[in-house]
Amino acid sequence: MNSGMWQALSPLLALSGGTVVLMLQIAFHRNPRWSVAITQLSLLLGAGLLLWLWPGSDYQSLLLRVDGYALLLNLLFILAAAVTCWLSPAYIALRSEQSGEFFLLLLLATIGAMILAQAVHVASLLLGLELLGVALYALIAYPDRSLLPLEAAVKYLVLSGAASATLLFGFALAYAGTGQLAFTGLSESLALAGSGAYTLVMAASVMIICGLAFKLSLVPFHMWTPDVYQGAPSPVTGFLATVSKGAVFAVFLRAFLETGAYQFPIILNSLAAIAVASMLVGNLLALRQDNVKRLLAYSSIAHMGYLLIVLLVCSDPANHDLAVEAALFYLVAYTVTTLAAFAVLTWPGYEQYQGPEHTELKHLSGLLWHHPLAGLLMLVAMLSLAGIPLTAGFVGKFYLFSAAVTGPHWLLLGSLVVGSGIGIYYYLRVVYYLLRRDDNHALLPNAGWHESCLAVVLLAAVLGLGIAPQSLIGWIQSIL
């Protein structure tokens, strides 16, 4: 219990303290404004502490490691949580009796995601994953005035539970094979393991990959994605799509590198198959969606497939730094862009009805003319997801291309090109709806300064990362 440890854990402690305060506030004096303020303050405090730790921190315990990688991702998750918190109050107030606990759950989920980014041990991985997952079940089911969120939450709960069980069994097998649970320990005993242990460990790896692939909604574990995306309240969907997936990918990448899993052809081949399948299936299924949230769900399947390329590039140890760099940039770009898209879908004026959400494509019709700022944000988000230059998404895709051309990954590159090509069609469909000028819009959104501020910030982030990516690249490089 030295001071270095307290420093390194201070962001986590700040958020944990925030949850306690928030819980007491809800118990003694319910007031949604206070809840939002406490949440935002603890997020702000957490972000401040992260920046204070930057960049020299490299604290390692048995369970957690607070290095630059974890700090950068934690900052990203905290910012994403802050955006979600900024978006939610009006939405939740319309759709549920009480809104205080929503923010409590949001803080807990964020803590889970932060732990995942720091995890270097199977136990902390599970701890983070379950904290994130359990909070998400409740977040998804939070609106109590319609059935769709409940259905989505049950679906997510059952499937996610099965995935966690698979994951746990995988860890048990790995422990049986090597007697280790820490990532680095696994790596050492893998090198020494005999052929009997090899079989056990490979079986374990496949189960672990399946469990994590479920959380990342990779093909063929993607079935839950569209339903949960559609059923969950839009701000939560944005959180799920960015923070939850980002955190799981973060721990996946760290485990993949530190356990030395990249040396085994079986693992690499199965990951390559999953990546190619995700890119193609995700994009193909997105083609015929008329609901924007379902469309984004399938698109996220494809994007996670693109991101898997990074893992395969790691098969050559010389590329590890480039791969991590590409993954971090891509995650940041993807998070910012996806949040932008969901911010438009949550736009409170757009959601004035308490009934089902208005997220069909036809509801976006003519948005650019009726509400230029929201329309522009959606337009830029779609272009960024499609990977058009001068947006964050393009630089991310450029990173993936750069990483993949360093080795003989022609199949992956081919799928990336084909997938992106298909993707352009459905992103353009959304853009086309935004631009339609023939029908009259019944729901004229009215933007307050609250939404406009956020829209401007997100717009600036997506375009800024696309036009001047060097500052973020410099940041990322400084921590590798």
Partner 1 sequence: MLVTLLLVLLGGGLLCLALDRFRPEAARLVSLLTLVVAALILASLAPLGPASAGPGNAWLAYVQMPWIPRFGISIELGLDGLSFLLLVLTLALGFIAVSASWTEISFRPGLFQANLLWTLAGVVGVFLALDLFLFFVFWEIMLVPMYLLIAVWGHEARAHAAYKFFIFTQVSGLLMLLAILVLAWTARTTGQALSFSYFDLLGQAPTGQLGMAIMLGFFIAFAVKLPAFGVHTWLPDAHTQAPTAGSVLLAGILLKTGAYGLIRFVLPLFPESSLAFAPIALGLGVAGILYGAVLAFAQDDFKRLVAYSSVSHMGFVLLGLYAFNALAQRGAVVQLVAHGISTAALFMMAGALQQRLHTRDMRKMGGLWQQAPRMGACALFFAMASLGLPGLGNFVAEFMVLAGLFAEHPITAALAALGLVTAAIYSLSLIQRAFQGPDNDQAKIDDFGPRELTTMAVMAAALLWLGLYPQPVLDLARIAPPLSLSGLSP
Q: CB nearer to partner 1: give 143 or 469.
A: 469
Q: CB nearer to partner 1: give 356 or 372.
A: 372
According to the binding rule CB under 8 A, does residue 440 interact with partner 1?
Answer: no
From the CB of 376, what's the least distance to partner 1, in Å?
11
Bond preceding residue 220 cis, omega within 30 of 0: yes
According to the binding rule CB under 8 A, does residue 353 interact with partner 1?
Answer: no
According to the binding rule CB under 8 A, does residue 269 interact with partner 1?
Answer: no
Q: How many degrees, rounded to 5, is the angle at CA 176 between CA 172 and CA 180?
A: 85
Which of 269, 446, 452, 477 binds partner 1 (CB under 8 A)? It is: 477
From the CB of 474, what's the least distance to partner 1, in Å?
8
CB crowding 141-150: b at 16 or more within 10 Å, else e:
bbbeebebbe
Which of 27, 318, 355, 437 binds partner 1 (CB under 8 A)? It is: 437
Give the Cα separation of 85 and 337 in Å (integer): 17
Chain centre to alpha carbon of residue 272: 21
From the CB of 328, what's the least distance to partner 1, in Å?
13
Are 46 and 111 in contact by the 8 Å Cβ rule? The answer is no
Give the Cα separation of 258 and 256 in Å (integer): 6
Are 247 and 116 in contact by the 8 Å Cβ rule? The answer is yes
Contact window for partner 1 (CB under 8 A) among 15-23, 78-86, 295-303, 471-479:
471-479
Main-chain dihedrals φ then ψ at residue 28, nearest 5 degrees: -100, -35
Give the Cα separation of 480 and 476 in Å (integer): 7
From the CB of 232, what's the least distance to partner 1, in Å?
30
Restricted to residues 372-431, the positions that interact with partner 1 (CB under 8 A) are 383, 386, 388-390, 394, 398, 401-402, 405-406, 413, 417, 420-421, 424-425, 428, 431
According to the binding rule CB under 8 A, does residue 470 interact with partner 1?
Answer: yes
Give the Cα separation of 323 and 313 in Å (integer): 6
From the CB of 69, what's the least distance to partner 1, in Å?
18
Contact window for partner 1 (CB under 8 A) among 69-77, 180-188, 302-310, 470-478:
470-478
Task: Please report the sign of the dihedral spanned by the C-alpha atoms of residue 173, residue 179, residue 183, residue 186.
Answer: negative
What element of type H or E holds 66? strand 65-66
- Size of residue set near partner 1 by CB under 8 A: 28
- Helix boundaries (H) for 29-67: 32-53
Q: CB nearer to partner 1: give 201 or 430.
A: 430
Give the Cα separation of 328 and 324 in Å (integer): 6
Q: CB nearer to partner 1: give 6 or 410.
A: 410
Q: Which residues bind partner 1 (CB under 8 A)?
A: 369, 383, 386, 388-390, 394, 398, 401-402, 405-406, 413, 417, 420-421, 424-425, 428, 431-432, 435, 437, 469-470, 473-474, 477
